[in-house]
Amino acid sequence: MMEEEIEEKKGRIRIEEKLKRYEKIDFLGEGQFATVYKALDVETKQIVAVKKIKLGSREEARDGINRTALREIKLLQEVHHPNLIGLFDVFGYKSNVSLVFDFMDTDLEVIIKDTDNIILTPSNIKAYILQTLRGLEFLHLHWILHRDLKPNNLLVNAEGVLKIGDFGLARFFGSPNRQYSHQVVTRWYRSPELLFGARSYGTGVDMWAVGCILAEMLVRCPYFPGDSDLDQLTRIFTALGTPTDDNWKTLAAMLLRLEIAMGRFLMVGEPAICTLNSQPVHYGIGAGAGVVVRHGRLVR
């Protein structure tokens, strides 16, 4: 019992040291699950960002960390690249877990929206996209899908260095039979296969998002601001053309599977006896192609 008490006391001392190490300078923002502060690391004299995650339940608090934070920590501890946000430290206190990151002055969403004060030249756009693609290439080479690329997750410092942040939805990929959620990526940056409900997909979902971000930097507003998944698809097909069997080989098979699935659920006659587990609908759509811009016109 004495040993346990000693270890517990040591743990409390370590946490107190952590709390003293990072001196809060400014409040940066607050979301549903986390609060972010600008802080000074008194040991290194470096400015950092501290993301304090609120644990959502007693069980999570007892375990010490929630699933989303654990996923982000695990990934960021394994990958290191100049264009990926750096994770320096992790510690828990009461019902919170704090992650210590690179401090970044702004994000791409702020830059895009500030049309009064910021001019985005072709060179600026090229530099931001190149850095995004370098970070993304590193992730994909390490079998990681980000799955939530959007302008406010692309962080930029005062020197113009861009780093990809927010890995809460990131996943390792590569298993041919592995199924993923299609409810990823903010709708405006979501590829057609995700909008159709695909559960098997690859790096194309990230590349599509990069294409949408590139278009947004050029026109200084979201290019596909859909109000619903159907509206999103309509906007995409209006701008890029409706896909055909020639340019989307798996489209017909996907639509057939959707039709069969609808028939299984919408039956007239005897009451259907089924559960979600008895209706395994796998759409099997291939990864979407990235959008590129040529002479001011979006093409596939």
Q: Which residues are annotated as a binding site?
A: 28-36, 51-52
Rounded CA-CA distance 178/174 in Å is 8
Annotated binding site for ATP: 28-36, 51-52
Q: Pick the catalytic residue: 102, 107, 148, 206?
A: 148
Cα-based distances in Å from 106 to 80, 151, 218, 261: 21, 11, 19, 45
- Residues 225-252, buried b or exposed e (16+ Cβ, 10 A)? ebeeeeebbebbeeebeebeeeebebbe
Q: Helix axis angle, 122-141 relative to 204-219, nearest 10°?
A: 170
Per the annotation, the verdict on 148 as an active-site residue is yes
Say how far apart CA 300 and CA 242 lie, in whole Å: 11
Count the Cβ atoms, other than its own, within 10 Å of residue 70. 16
Closest CA to 163 of 49, 62, 46: 49
Catalytic residues: 148
